[in-house]
Chains A and B, each alone.
Chain A
Amino acid sequence: MSAKRILIIDDEADVREIAKVSLEITKNWDVATAASGDEGVALATTYHPDAILLDVIMPDPDGLTTLIKLSKNIDTCNIPVILLTATIKLATQKAYAEAGARAIVVKPFDPGLLGGQIETALEW
C-alpha cells in the first residue's frame, strides 16, 4: 500500500509544521503544506492529496470559502476535508457539513495521535 498524501492548509506556521512532522513520523505519509486558502486550492489540484486538513480561521479566504472552492473544483471536489480549529460554533458546523467537511480536529491536537484520528475519521 502506497503512502497516503496529505495537504495541510493553515496560516499558522507552528501548527503547519508540527502537523506535518507528526504525520511523517507516525504514519510515514507524504505531507504538503500551504499557508493560505488560495495556495491550498492551487496545490490540491496538482498534488492530488488523499485528504486535506483545513484551518477554519484564516485571513481571506477563510476556511469556509476555501472549502467551498475545493468542493466546486472538479479536480478537488472528491478529496475528503478535515477541519482544524480551536473553536467552531454549532451554527457554523452546519455550514461546513453542508459544504462537505468530514470531521473536525480540535486544536491543540496531540501530535502523537493526529494520524490515527485522521484514519478514524476517514475509516482508512
Chain B
Amino acid sequence: MKILLVDDDEILVAQLTADLTAQNYVVDTTTDGLLGWQYAAATTYDLIVLDINLPRLDGLSLCQRLRQTGYSGAILLLTAQSSSTDKVMGLDAGADDYLVKPYTPIELIARMRALLRRPHLVDGPTLEWGSLQLNSNTGQVKVNDYSLSLSPKEYGLLELFLRHPQRIFSNTMLLERLWSLEEAPGEETIRTHIKRLRRKLKQAGADDMIENVYGMGYRLKSQPSAIAVDQITAARTAALDSFKRFMPLLNTRLDALKQAASALEQGQLSPDVQKPALAAAHKLAGSLGLFGLEAGSHLAYLLEEWLQRPHIPEGETFCALVEQLQQLLQAPQLAPPSSGDRTLELISQSALAPLNQPANLADINWLTGLVNRHRATIELELLLKLAQRGGQPVSLLLLRLMPQASDNHEILNQYLLQTLSQKLPAILYSGDVLARWDHSELLIGLWDTDLPQAQERLWQTLRLLLADSLGLALGPQIQAELQLGAAAFPAHGKTVQSLYQHTTSHLEALPLGNPKSPHCPC
C-alpha cells in the first residue's frame, strides 16, 4: 500500500514514515501543498494524509482539487482546529476522515488502517488465494497455517496482486505503487523481488500464483481449484494411513536399539550390536516424522548422535531415550507433519544456500526459525519507541535453558529450544516479539503489558506448556532447568540492553516438569 504524507511538521513526518515503513507501507512525504498536488498527479496512492495548514496550497483546497480530478483513494485530514464547522468543511471537501491535533502516532496509524480497510478500497482485512491468507491488519501471511516471513517489498507485491486480482501490472506501475520516489530502482529489481516471492510461496506449498503476461507485466492467476489444496492433504493422509503397514519395519528398527540398550546396561556394546543400532536410529530419525511423529524423529536423532561418539559413555541416558521412543511407538499420536520445518537446501558450487529460510536469511535463526538478536533488537527498539510515545507498558521476559545432562548437553539444548520456539507463538499476541537471543536464550517482548499483567497472562500457561511439552517429552530421566527473568519498561530500563540486563540479574529457576507454579521474578 502506498501512502503520501503532506505535512509541514517535519518531526512528525519523520516519525510516521519510520513507523509506517516498519509496517510494510510505502511512504512518500512532502511538507508543501503544491508539491503534494504534483506527487498525487504523478503517481497513484492508496491514501493521502493532509495537514490543513500547508504552505503554498492549503490542505482543504488540495483535498478538493484531488477529488475534482478523480482521485478515488482515501484522504485523511489533520488539523489543530476542532470545531464541528471545520470538520464539516473538511468532509465536504472530500476527506474520508478527520483527526484533530494533538493525537498520538498510534491513533493516527489506527485511523489510516481503518481507512485502508474501507470496502471501496479492499474486500476486508484478510485476503485469500487458495491456501494462502494475507491479513493486512497484522501483516501476517500464512500458507496452510505456516507463517511466511516476507520482506516489505515482497509483502507489498503480494498484497497488491491480491487486492487487484484482474489487473496486469507493468514494471512501471509496480515501481510507482511500491517504491518511493527517492528509491527509484531499476526494472531488474522488480524481477528479483518477484522471483524471491515466487520461491517463498512455492516453498510454503502455495501454487505459483503470479503469472507473466508477455510484453505487459505481471498478474495474479485465477484462484486455484480446491484440488491442489486437497492433494496436499491427501498426500499427508496417505502417509498417515500407511503407518500400520510399516509398523513391523519400524519395530525391527526399535528392536535394534533395544538390543543396544540392553548391551549397554550390561556394560558391553560390541560393534555387532552398535552398528545395526546406529543404522536403525538413522532410519527412524528420517522416517517417523513422515507420519507426524516428529518427537520420535527427534528422539531417534539424539540416539543416532549418541551412537556415533568415539567413546560411548554409560548407558543410562541412552536406555531412557530408547524407552521414550518405545512408549511413543506403542501409543502413537499420528498427525500431519508440520510444514514449517526446514526440509530443503540448495547446493551451489560456491556456497550452500538454504532455500526454505523465511525472510532475510541474516535475520532468522536457523535452529528455531525465530528472529535473531540483531533483528529482535531493531523490533524491540521500535516497540519501546512506540511505547514511549503512547505511554504503554512493555515487559521483557527472558527464558534461559540450563540442560543438566552432561553427555548430550548440546543436542538436548537444541531440542528444547526448537520445542519452545514452536509452542510459544500460540500464547503470544500480535505485536509481541519472540526471538532467539543467545545460545540458550529466548527473549519475549510483550506489547502494552506490565509485569502483573504478564504474570497473569503468561505464567500459568507457560508453566503448563513447559510441563507438557518439555517435561513429558523428555521424561523423568533427563533433567533440565529453565530460568526466567523479567523486566518492565520504563521502570527497569529504557533501552533494550538495560532491560535485558535487568532480566539476567533477576533470574529464577524453574525445574522443567515441576508442578509447583513459578512466581514472577519481578
Contact: B343 with A110, CB < 8 Å? yes
Subset of 15 A-B contacts with CB under 8 Å: A14-B242, A14-B290, A21-B235, A21-B238, A25-B231, A25-B235, A57-B279, A87-B304, A103-B347, A110-B338, A110-B343, A111-B239, A112-B233, A113-B204, A121-B346
Instruction: Indicate with 1 or 0, residue by residue over A12-30, a CB within 8 angstroms of chain B CB atoms.
Output: 1111011001100110000
Contact: B287 with A12, CB < 8 Å? yes
Given contacts A93-B352, A120-B203, 11 further A-B contacts (CB under 8 A): A13-B249, A15-B290, A96-B347, A107-B290, A108-B287, A108-B297, A110-B337, A111-B236, A112-B144, A113-B203, A117-B356
Does B124 count as interface, using CB distance less than 8 angstroms? no
Instruction: Indicate with 1 or 0, residue by residue over A33-62, a CB within 8 angstroms of chain B CB atoms.
Output: 000000000000000000000000100000
Contact: A107 with B235, CB < 8 Å? no
Does A77 count as interface, using CB distance less than 8 angstroms? no
User: Please, which residues of chain B bring their CB within 8 A of the CB of A14?
Assistant: 242, 246, 249-250, 287, 290
Q: Given the interface contacts A13-B246, A87-B304, A97-B349, does A111 sit within 8 Å of B344 by beta carbon?
A: no
4 pairs of A and B residues whose beta carbons are closest in the complex: A108-B289, A107-B286, A86-B286, A112-B232
Distance of A108 Cα from B337 Cα, bound (Å): 9
Question: Which partner residue on chain B sits nearest A10 by CB separation?
Answer: B286
Contact: B285 with A103, CB < 8 Å? no
Distance of A81 Cα from B338 Cα, bound (Å): 25
Q: Given the interface contacts A21-B235, A90-B352, does A106 sit within 8 Å of B345 by beta carbon?
A: yes
User: Please, which residues of chain A bring their CB within 8 A of the CB of B491?
Assistant: none
Contact count band on A: 35 or more
Contact: B205 with A107, CB < 8 Å? no
Question: Which partner residue on chain A sits nearest B205 by CB separation?
Answer: A113
Distance of A70 Cα from B373 Cα, bound (Å): 44
Q: Given the interface contacts A14-B287, A86-B285, does A106 sit within 8 Å of B342 by beta carbon?
A: yes
Binding site for B on A (CB under 8 A): 12-15, 17-18, 21-22, 25-26, 57, 83, 85-87, 90, 93, 96-97, 101-114, 116-117, 119-121
Contact: B231 with A26, CB < 8 Å? yes
Distance of A74 Cα from B343 Cα, bound (Å): 31
Contact: B347 with A102, CB < 8 Å? yes
Contact: A25 with B282, CB < 8 Å? no
Does B194 count as interface, using CB distance less than 8 angstroms? no
Contact: A107 with B285, CB < 8 Å? yes
Does B211 count as interface, using CB distance less than 8 angstroms? no
Distance of A108 Cα from B293 Cα, bound (Å): 10
Contact: B286 with A25, CB < 8 Å? no
User: Which residues of B in the span 315-354 have a Cβ within 8 Å of any Cβ on A?
Assistant: 336-339, 341-349, 352
Distance of A119 Cα from B356 Cα, bound (Å): 13
Name B's interface SS: helix
Does B132 count as interface, using CB distance less than 8 angstroms? no
Contact: B343 with A117, CB < 8 Å? yes
B-side interface residues, number (CB < 8 Å)? 47
User: Please, which residues of chain B bring their CB within 8 A of the CB of A114?
Assistant: 235
Does B87 count as interface, using CB distance less than 8 angstroms? no
Whole-angstrom distance from the CB of A74 to the nearest CB of chain B?
A: 22
Whole-angstrom distance from the CB of A22 to the nearest CB of chain B?
A: 4
Instruction: Indicate with 1 or 0, residue by residue over B268-298, a CB within 8 angstroms of chain A CB atoms.
Output: 0000000000010011011111100010010
Binding site for A on B (CB under 8 A): 144, 199, 202-205, 231-236, 238-239, 242, 246, 249-250, 279, 282-283, 285-290, 294, 297, 301, 304, 336-339, 341-349, 352, 355-356
User: Please, which residues of chain A bring their CB within 8 A of the CB of B344?
Assistant: 103-106, 117, 120-121
Contact: B290 with A108, CB < 8 Å? yes
Question: Which partner residue on chain A sits nearest B198 by CB separation?
Answer: A120
Distance of A15 Cα from B290 Cα, bound (Å): 8
User: Please, which residues of chain A bring their CB within 8 A of the CB of B336?
Assistant: 112
Whole-angstrom distance from the CB of B476 to the nearest CB of chain A?
A: 27
User: Please, which residues of chain A bring their CB within 8 A of the CB of B199?
Assistant: 120
Whole-angstrom distance from the CB of B221 to the nearest CB of chain A?
A: 15
Q: Given the interface contacts A104-B347, A112-B205, does A25 sit within 8 Å of B238 by beta carbon?
A: yes
Distance of A33 Cα from B19 Cα, bound (Å): 54
Option from A22, A87, A116 in Cβ contact (under 8 Å) with B238: A22
Whole-angstrom distance from the CB of A79 to the nearest CB of chain B?
A: 15
Whole-angstrom distance from the CB of A95 to the nearest CB of chain B?
A: 11
User: Please, which residues of chain B bring their CB within 8 A of the CB of A119?
Assistant: 202
Contact: B343 with A111, CB < 8 Å? no
Distance of A63 Cα from B87 Cα, bound (Å): 74
Distance of A104 Cα from B202 Cα, bound (Å): 16
Question: Which partner residue on chain B sits nearest A82 by CB separation?
Answer: B344
Option from B203, B239, B304 in Cβ contact (under 8 Å) with A21: B239
User: Please, which residues of chain A bring their CB within 8 A of the CB of B287?
Assistant: 12, 14-15, 107-108
Option from A85, A101, A110 in Cβ contact (under 8 Å) with B236: A110
User: Please, which residues of chain A bring their CB within 8 A of the CB of B233?
Assistant: 112
Question: Which partner residue on chain A sits nearest B350 by CB separation?
Answer: A97
Distance of A27 Cα from B383 Cα, bound (Å): 44
Whole-angstrom distance from the CB of A16 to the nearest CB of chain B?
A: 10
Contact: A17 with B242, CB < 8 Å? yes
Contact: A116 with B346, CB < 8 Å? no
